[in-house]
Amino acid sequence: MSDSHASHGGGVKLYWIFCVILSVITFLEWAVFEYREPWGIGKVSLVVSLSIFSLIKFVMVVGWYMHLKDDPKMLKNTFIFSLLLASGVAAGLLALML
């Protein structure tokens, strides 16, 4: 893949940077889950930390790889509103379960 095909600025180097960041976050998710007992991570902290990691990865993938940054403002705002609404519902359900 050449820089001209890497899409909308940044080039291949930026894709590799995002790849490394996503890999590090995935490793942190694994480490938190795998070592939750020795590190003394409780159920609530586990759910919150994994949810935050997942949200960060989701925003990075949708915002960069799916080129949300280049979409019209109306589409971007619709997506963000829907994401916030779904996150609020998920957080409420998690709060009820914990």
- Report the alpha-carbon distance of residue 4 to residue 11 in Å, rounded: 7
- Report the alpha-carbon distance of residue 67 to residue 79 in Å, rounded: 12
Q: Phi/psi of residue 24, each to 5°?
A: -65, -45
What is the reported pLDDT for 9? 59
What is the reported pLDDT for 44? 83
Note whether 85 and 93 are within 8 A (CB). Answer: no
pTM of the model: 0.68
- Report the alpha-carbon distance of residue 79 to residue 73 in Å, rounded: 10
pLDDT digits (tens, 9 = 90+) for 46-90: 888 898 998 899 888 887 777 777 788 888 888 889 888 988 898
Cα 51 versus chain centre, distance: 9
